[in-house]
Amino acid sequence: MVPISYYITLSAILFGLGVAGFVFKRNIITIFMAIELMLNAVNLAFVAFSRALGQLQGQVFVFFVIVVAAAEAAVGLGIVILIARNRKSLNVERVNLLKL
């Protein structure tokens, strides 16, 4: 059996990639995908722990996360389309009006 540390390590790497993508990429779509990557890294950790501990709560959480991610994707993509229409660009650095 594969030890749990493998799953956790994989999850951490995926999550780190997601963070890096979120912080360093400029394209909103890419950032969006980075967020999905982070969510699924967490899902992986949940499932791994659920399996290792023999409890079902982790798997239930995963379903919740998937539902939230689906809703977020619907709203987020809507926002992305509006930004693309208004700014004629997907560069996130041009979305900076919310400041003093």
Residues that bind another protein (CB under 8 A): 19, 22-24, 92-93, 95-100
The per-residue DSSP string of 18-32 comes to HHHHHHH--BHHHHH
Least gap, CB of 5 to another protein (angstroms): 16
Q: Report the nearest approach of another protein to the CB of residue 45 (Å).
A: 13
Question: Is 56 buried (19+), middle (13-18) or exposed (0-12) by CB count in 10 A?
Answer: exposed
Cβ-based nearer residue to another protein, 1 or 23: 23
Cβ-based nearer residue to another protein, 20 or 60: 20
C-alpha–C-alpha distance, residues 53 and 70, integer Å: 28
Shortest distance, position 93 Cβ to another protein, whole Å: 7
Q: How many residues does the chain have?
A: 100
As measured in angstroms, the least distance from the Cβ of 62 to another protein is 20
Is-contact 45 6, C-beta < 8 A?
no
User: Which CB, 56 or 98, lies closer to another protein?
Assistant: 98
